[in-house]
Amino acid sequence: MRIVADLHTHTIASGHAYSTIQENARAGREKGLQAIAVTDHGPSMPHAPEPFYFGNLHTIPDVIEGVRVIKGVEANITGPSGTLDLPERYLERLELVLAGLHAESIRPSSVEENTSAILGAVRHPLVKILVHLGNPQFPLDYEAVVRAAAQFGKVIEINNSSLVRSRQGSKANCLAIARLCRRHGVPVVLSSDAHFSGHVGELDEAVRTAAEAGLEPELIINLSMERVVGILRTSGARVSARDGRVRDCAGSE
């Protein structure tokens, strides 16, 4: 299984991560990736960047160290109706919006309330990927979440860091979610959630979990740059006005 893009990485801008965009891009190249997404935490996380940081990401080149750098955010869900911590006018300028639950931004609650928060984010038109749903700190009705993801065309992440470094006790949940994705035909991404450049592209446990769940390669978005580009907002996909074809697939123009 050859992963071509790592769609969840953090930089020093997150306040608790330790590498720059350039270092992450270089690490991605060394791991053989064609793309990485820069997805720093939304502003409600302590020491996370202000909205203006996300508004200015367009100044970064599309290709750094030979790797396509996708500009995104890991937005925090901040309330039971799925509100996000980055205003819409910033979200809509980004190529990729991830959304997830973090105890720094929302209090862990009952299965009903946690699920309601996630379902609100699922219905948000600018959210594309739901991250680390297997976190045992936030118990969820996985069946309801995966069904909603199928209905609203969202992608579910299998977070490698949850399996090797953080959010202990995620493994059985992640496997259950992956099996539901298979059953309901929901696409997944395998992501590192790197907070240090050395962890960019580190995906072995996520790959193992996907295999254990029997996920068909067709459902794994980041096995193909074409599929990755397909989930970006059109600003990132750079669809040619002339022939309607995506011309920025592998990152060069």
Q: Which residues bind Zn ion (CB under 5 A)?
A: 100
CB 137 to Zn ion: min, Å: 11
Biggest alpha carbon distance in the chain?
A: 51
Taking the least distance from each CB to Zn ion, the nearer of 68 and 102 is: 102
Residue bearing tokens 């039971």:
80
CB 127 to Zn ion: min, Å: 14
Within 8 A by CB and 6+ apart from 208, the residues are: none
What whole-number distance in Å separates Cα of residue 6 and Cα of residue 232? Answer: 13
Closest by CA to 158, choosing from 222, 230, 68, is: 222
Taking the least distance from each CB to Zn ion, the nearer of 100 and 120 is: 100
CB 24 to Zn ion: min, Å: 14
Q: Please state at what angle helix 171-184 crosses helix 142-152, rounded to 10 degrees.
A: 40
36, 24 in Cβ contact below 8 A?
yes
CB 76 to Zn ion: min, Å: 8
Residue, CB closest to Zn ion: 100
139, 167 in Cβ contact below 8 A?
no
Taking the least distance from each CB to Zn ion, the nearer of 68 and 195 is: 195
CB 18 to Zn ion: min, Å: 11
Taking the least distance from each CB to Zn ion, the nearer of 131 and 249 is: 131
Half-sphere exposure of 49 (CA within 13 A, CB side): 22
CB 73 to Zn ion: min, Å: 11
CA distances 33 to 27, 54, 96, Å, are 9, 23, 18
Taking the least distance from each CB to Zn ion, the nearer of 159 and 222 is: 159
Residue bearing tokens 């200015």:
56
Taking the least distance from each CB to Zn ion, the nearer of 99 and 119 is: 99
DSSP state of 105: T
